[in-house]
Amino acid sequence: MAIFLIWQDYRKHRKPMPFYFLGLAVLIKLVDTMVGMKSIEWIFGLSLGVFITLAYWFNYKHKTACTCKIK
């Protein structure tokens, strides 16, 4: 769902920063799956939430200050 929303806004505004944070979130999830240690699983979950929140925040920050023409 996040990739769809960020992709729509990217097509309008051409700001790639939210994609970087979303990519880091996916990378964190892949590392979590590969490591598989239950004792440190909370660290990966917290990191995942932080990176997805940053992606949405950067996207929102630009959209609220945007003066570009939206199609």
Task: Say which amino acid occupies 32.
Answer: D
Q: Residue 7's pLDDT is what?
A: 77
pLDDT, mean of residues 32-53: 85
Residue 12 pLDDT grade (very low, low, confident, very high; cuts 50, 70, 90): confident
CA distance 4 to 1: 5
Q: Residue 70's pLDDT is what?
A: 54
pTM score: 0.65
How is the chain split into domains, by residue range? 2-64
